[in-house]
Structure 1
Amino acid sequence: MIVIESGGTKSTWVFEAKSDEIQAKETVGLHPQELSVDKKNVIRSFINDNNLKSETVYFYGAGCESPEAKVKITLFLEDLGLNVIQVQTDIYAACLAHLGNKKGVVGIIGTGAVAAKFDGEKVVQQTSGLGYLLGDEGSGYDIGKRLLQAYFKGELSLEIKESIEAYFNHKSILHRIHEPDGRMCIAGLTKTVRQFSSEQSVKQILAAAFSDFCESALKPFHTNSPIHFVGSVAYFFKVELAEALRKAGFEMGEVKKVAVFGVFDFLSSENKG
C-alpha cells in the first residue's frame, strides 16, 4: 500500500518496503492542473527506483475536489502501472490524520489554505480554498505576496530586501513571478519570512495573514472545538498562528507538518480491522 499526500510544491509517498520497514520519500507535486510529461518521467523513475509498480495507491492532493480532477490523477498514476484505490482531497487527508472517524475542524495551511468541518466520514463544510487569485489567506503564497508588496512599498529593512533580491538571483522580480511557476516562487518566500520572523515588519505580515485566515476560513464554522492543522506554513509558524487564533476567539489544536503518516496509520489499522 502507498499513501500519497501532494501539495502544489511536492508530494510525499509513504509505503512499506520489502523489509517491512515503513519508508517516506518526497518527489514532485502532483496537482491535477499541473501534470506534465516531465513530471510523468520523474514519477516513472521514482516508481522504478523504489520497486513500487503494481502497488495499491491512496492519493490525497490539492485540487482534487472535482470528478474530473480525480480522473486526471487516476489516469496519470495508472498509466505508470499503479493500482489506484482512492483519490481524495488534501483536506480529507488532513481530517483523517487528525480525527480518524471522529468529528472536528481541520485547516491546511501550506502553499494554499483551506479549512473544513468533518463529521467522522466526510467533509460537510469547507471554507476558504478559493485559490490564490481569490482567496487562500494565510497561505504560503499569500504570505509571500504580502512580503513582496512590503518590499515594493519600501517597508522592509535593508537586510530583508537584500535577502529577497538574492532569492531572485538579483534579476527582475516582476518578470520572475509572472513565469508559469510564479505561484510556487512566491510561496517559497516563506523561507525568508521564517528567517526574519522576529522583525516587526514580518511579524505584522504574519499577524495580518493569519488574522485574515481566521476571518475567511474559521469564522463561518461557529465552533468552540480546537482547530487542528496540517501544512508546512502552519507547522513553522505555529506560534504566530496560535496567537491569531487566540485573538479571533479560537483554540489551537494539534499541528502536523504533513498528514500522510497519520493517514497511513489510520488506513493500515482500518484494513487490518
Structure 2
Amino acid sequence: MPKKLFFVKKCLFSSVIDSIDMAHTYTLMADSGSTKTNWVLFSGDQRPVERLSTSGINPFYQNQEAIVSILEGLDLQGKVPREVFFYGAGCVGEAQLKSVEGALGHFFPAAKIEVASDLLAAARSLCGHQSGIAAILGTGSNSCYYNGQVIVENVSPLGFILGDEGSGAVLGRKLVGDVLKKQLPEAVCMAFYEQYQMDGLAIIENVYRQPFPNRFLAQFTPFLLKHIEEPSVRQLVKRSFVAFYERNIRHYPKALQLPIHFTGSVAWHFRSVLALAAEETGFQMGKVVPDPMDGLMRYHSDQH
C-alpha cells in the first residue's frame, strides 16, 4: 500500500481517537492461525461488541504488505480500540513480530499494540496464571510448558513436513497419501474422490507447486471426521495423536502428572479420539476448547 494512503488512514484514525467518548474503551483481540484469524472487540466488562473473521495471518508466509491487505477488510463499525492484542502463528522472531506490529500500527496508530505467538495465547487462555501444559491442534500443532507467566519450554513443532504431529495439515497429508497409495479401503478412497473431484496430479500440484500447502492439506480433515467410525480412518487419526503426545508432550516436566489442555479446531472436533490417544500413552487430558478467545478475554480483563 502507498505510504501516502497509510498517512491518510493514520490521520483518520487519530481524529477518531481524539473525539472518542472516554467512557467507551475497547480492546481488540486477534487469534490467528494460518487459515483464519478470529477477531473480537470487547469492552472492560468482557462483553464482546464485535466478532469478526479474516483470512489467516502468518508473517512467516506473508510480508507486511500482504498483512495490510487483510487488515483492510476488518470493519469495526467505527469503534476504535485503545489496546490491540494480536496472537498468531508465526509470530515468534523479531522480524515477524515487527512486521505484524507495523501493519497494525498503520491502522491503529494511537493504540497500545502487543504481538505474541499463538502458543502464548493458548497458554494464557487455558492456564491463566497457573502453571501447566498447553497445546494447539489446528492447521498446525504446537505445545509448551507454561509457568503461569511465561513459556518455559517448547518442543519445536517443525512444520507439517518435519513435525506438526496431530495437526490438520498432517492429518490431511496422511489421508491423501493413503488414498493415492490405496492404503485405505476402496469404499473410503472412492468416497474421497467423489467428494473432492480431484485426482492425484491435482493434489501433487497443490502440495508441491502452490502456496500454503498446509492449508490445502488441512481442508481434508472434515472428511476424516465424517468417516471417523471407519476403523482404518480412526486408526490414522489416533496414530497421529499418539505421535503428538510421544514426540512433544512427553518431553515436558511433570507431563505425566499434569493435565494436558488443548485448543484448536482439530482438538475440539476429534476430542474423543484425542482422549483415547492420551489414555494409550499414559497422559491425562484436561480441558479442550475450540479457540482461546474467551479465556484470553478473562486473562486480559484480570490484568486491569
- TM-score calculated relative to the size of structure 2: 0.83
Whether the 8 Å CA contact 2:41–2:81 is kept in 1: the answer is: no
Equivalent position to 1:95, from 120, 123, 142: 123
Aligned length: 270
Whether the 8 Å CA contact 2:167–2:266 is kept in 1: the answer is: yes
Amino acid at match of 1:234: A
Whether the 8 Å CA contact 1:14–1:261 is kept in 2: the answer is: no
In the alignment, which residue of structure 1 is the partner of 2:244?
Answer: 213
Equivalent position to 1:29, from 39, 45, 56: 56
Residues 61-210 of structure 1 aligned to structure 2 (within 5 Å): 61-81=88-108, 83-166=111-194, 168-171=196-199, 172-178=202-208, 179-210=210-241
% identical aligned pairs:
28
Q: Which moved more, 1:123-132 or 1:158-167?
A: 158-167
Whether the 8 Å CA contact 2:54–2:73 is kept in 1: the answer is: no
Amino acid at match of 2:29: V
Unaligned stretches of 5+ residues in structure 2: 1-26
Whether the 8 Å CA contact 1:112–1:131 is kept in 2: the answer is: yes
Q: Which moved more, 1:75-84 or 1:162-171?
A: 162-171
Whether the 8 Å CA contact 1:232–1:257 is kept in 2: the answer is: yes
Q: Which moved more, 1:51-60 or 1:158-167?
A: 158-167
Q: Which moved more, 1:241-250 or 1:164-173?
A: 164-173
Equivalent position to 2:71, from 40, 43, 54: 43
Q: Distance in 1 between matches of 2:287 and 2:81?
A: 35
After TM superposition, where is structure 1 displaced by more than 6 Å over at least 4 residues in a row? none
Amino acid at match of 2:182: G
Q: Distance in 1 between matches of 2:176 and 2:93?
A: 32
Q: Distance in 1 between matches of 2:195 and 2:80?
A: 38
Whether the 8 Å CA contact 2:262–2:289 is kept in 1: the answer is: yes
Q: Which moved more, 1:184-193 or 1:20-29?
A: 20-29
Q: Relative to 1, partners in 2 of residues 1:66 and 1:42: Cα closer, same or farther, differing over 3 Å?
A: closer
Q: CA deviation at 1:166?
A: 4.5
In the alignment, which residue of structure 1 is the partner of 2:295?
Answer: 262
Q: Secondary structure at the match of 1:155?
A: coil
- TM-score calculated relative to the size of structure 1: 0.91
Q: CA deviation at 1:239?
A: 0.6
Whether the 8 Å CA contact 1:129–1:135 is kept in 2: the answer is: yes
Unaligned stretches of 5+ residues in structure 1: none
Whether the 8 Å CA contact 1:155–1:201 is kept in 2: the answer is: no
What's the C-alpha RMSD, in Å, of the aligned pairs?
2.2
Q: Secondary structure at the match of 2:59?
A: coil
Amino acid at match of 1:230: T
